[in-house]
Structure 1
Amino acid sequence: MNTTPLFPLGRALYPEGVLHLRIFEIRYLDMIKQCIADQSSFGVVPLLAGHEVRTPEGREVLADFGTMARIEQWNAPMPGLLQLRCVGTTRFRLVASEQRKYGLWVGQVEPLADDPVVPIPAALQPAANTLGRLIAELQQQRAAGPGLPIEPPFRLDECGWVANRWAEMLPLLPPQQRHLLADDDPESRLDQIQDILKRRKLLAE
């Protein structure tokens, strides 16, 4: 297994999800510059404890599952600042991790299989319908394209895709994010998501 640079975040990234980052910490500037030069990816893992920005007294605890992030666009508006648009690719299990110079995390990761295509059963259709309405509202509010938090193709007929998009948007606790990342069953993930939507009274009529 190769050593993979890691980026701990308060929010999980899921396959095909879009992630916008502002990079200004020394530990990440060099890492991202290397990824850009090598056209390589880095791993995004949810933080179970600690803060995204390093603090002297803080201690970061990483989840043991994450998603690889591919850099799609980047720019440097000023020295010491990089702005990135990334896309999630492959989920992985974090086998081991360690902190290096300036607090940069690296780890040994084990790639996980892509979701199988699982059609949405009738019982879980409300979650897909509600997401479809949300996407339509977003498209009306702004032109479809790079500005949308959810990008096409919109696979509203697949359990995994719908579950992942909801998981990115809902205010889930870190253990919930970790649990969803670890669940290999797309229908199971969507069932959990719909239960959360139902309890929060977010399902469309």
Structure 2
Amino acid sequence: MSDLASDTAVELPLFPLRSVLFPGGRMGLRIFERRYLDLIRDTLREQQSFGIVWLPEGGAEVLKPGVRQATLALIGTEARITDWDQTDDGLLGVVVEGGRRFRLAAARQADSGLYIGDIQWLAELPDTALPPRGSELQDLLQQLGEHPHVQRLGMDLDVDEAGALANRLAQLLPLPAADAYQILSIDEPVARLDALHDVLDGLSQ
């Protein structure tokens, strides 16, 4: 788990999800709630970012009257919008790319229901070269990159460092969200890649 955080807290609007966003990873979002439509509008207009935090079981992505969401995960990822359009069902679709990781110090809800977090950016360790068994995972990433859905995301898959490879694969593979979150929480790049490898070994057994 991470203890490398800046002492300075800043405010960041939050988008809780049942899935995890990784640095350098991309994901598509379908937006229909007013609080998030306003968030996307403000983010595009002001060229700002927001935070995506994992919402563990027990919380709800859709706000219901009189219902408060469960505790949010402590580690999240900055999200920047790279593309947007209207989906076939009339909803707003956006593609976001993961930026910096952060630790969530506190969160509160605005009247609209939007979460605002007091966050501290995590100081990242330098990425490192791939370990010997990393080439197998690198081949897997290239195979995933041939899928039309992945190609539409426009994610950079030309990576040859341990942390970046772990982030891209963890973003694209259908990992249990709890496992993905644990991988996100690891600071050391090779340890993050090893953790991903262990999860994949466990899923294949």
CA gap of 1:84–1:115, structure 2 versus 1, over 3 A, is: farther
* Counterpart residue number, 1:132: 139
Equivalent of 1:30, from 35, 38, 41? Answer: 38
Q: Unmatched 5+ residue regions in structure 2?
A: 1-8
Q: Distance in 1 between matches of 2:177 and 2:52?
A: 16
**Which residue identity does 1:66 align to in structure 2?**
G
* Greater alpha carbon shift after TM alignment, 87-96 vs 69-78: 69-78
Q: Distance in 1 between matches of 2:113 and 2:138?
A: 38
CA RMSD of aligned residues (A): 2.6
Q: Distance in 2 between matches of 1:137 and 1:70?
A: 23
Say if 2:142 is the partner of 1:147: no
SS of alignment partner, residue 187 of structure 2: coil
* Counterpart residue number, 2:101: 91
Say if 2:201 is the partner of 1:198: yes
* Counterpart residue number, 1:100: 110
Question: Identity percentage over the alignment?
Answer: 36
CA gap of 1:158–1:94, structure 2 versus 1, over 3 A, is: same
CA gap of 1:138–1:73, structure 2 versus 1, over 3 A, is: closer
Per-residue CA deviations over 1:47-71 (Å, capped at 9, x if unaligned) read 1231222234463321011000011
Q: Shift of residue 131 of structure 1? A: 4.2
Q: Distance in 1 between matches of 2:199 and 2:12?
A: 33
Q: Distance in 1 between matches of 2:56 and 2:12?
A: 19
* Counterpart residue number, 1:171: 175
* Counterpart residue number, 2:4: none
Q: Unmatched 5+ residue regions in structure 1?
A: none
CA gap of 1:86–1:195, structure 2 versus 1, over 3 A, is: same
* Counterpart residue number, 1:185: 188
Q: Distance in 1 between matches of 2:11 and 2:108?
A: 10
Q: Shift of residue 99 of structure 1? A: 1.2
**TM-score, normalised relative to structure 1:** 0.83
Equivalent of 2:22, from 14, 19, 28? Answer: 14
**TM-score, normalised relative to structure 2:** 0.83
**Which residue identity does 1:5 align to in structure 2?**
P
Q: Shift of residue 137 of structure 1? A: 5.6
CA gap of 1:75–1:153, structure 2 versus 1, over 3 A, is: same
Is the contact between residue 115 and residue 160 of structure 1 (CA under 8 Å) also seen in structure 2? no
Is the contact between residue 46 and residue 177 of structure 1 (CA under 8 Å) also seen in structure 2? no
**Which residue identity does 2:60 align to in structure 1?**
H
Is the contact between residue 82 and residue 96 of structure 2 (CA under 8 Å) also seen in structure 1? yes
Q: Shift of residue 77 of structure 1? A: 5.7
Q: Shift of residue 180 of structure 1? A: 2.2
Q: Distance in 1 between matches of 2:16 and 2:126?
A: 27
SS of alignment partner, residue 61 of structure 1: coil
Per-residue CA deviations over 1:93-117 (Å, capped at 9, x if unaligned) read 1111111113211111111123412
* Counterpart residue number, 2:72: 62
Q: Distance in 1 between matches of 2:144 and 2:162?
A: 21
SS of alignment partner, residue 103 of structure 1: coil
Q: Distance in 2 between matches of 1:196 and 1:23?
A: 31
Per-residue CA deviations over 1:66-104 (Å, capped at 9, x if unaligned) read 0000111123469x8321111111111111111111321
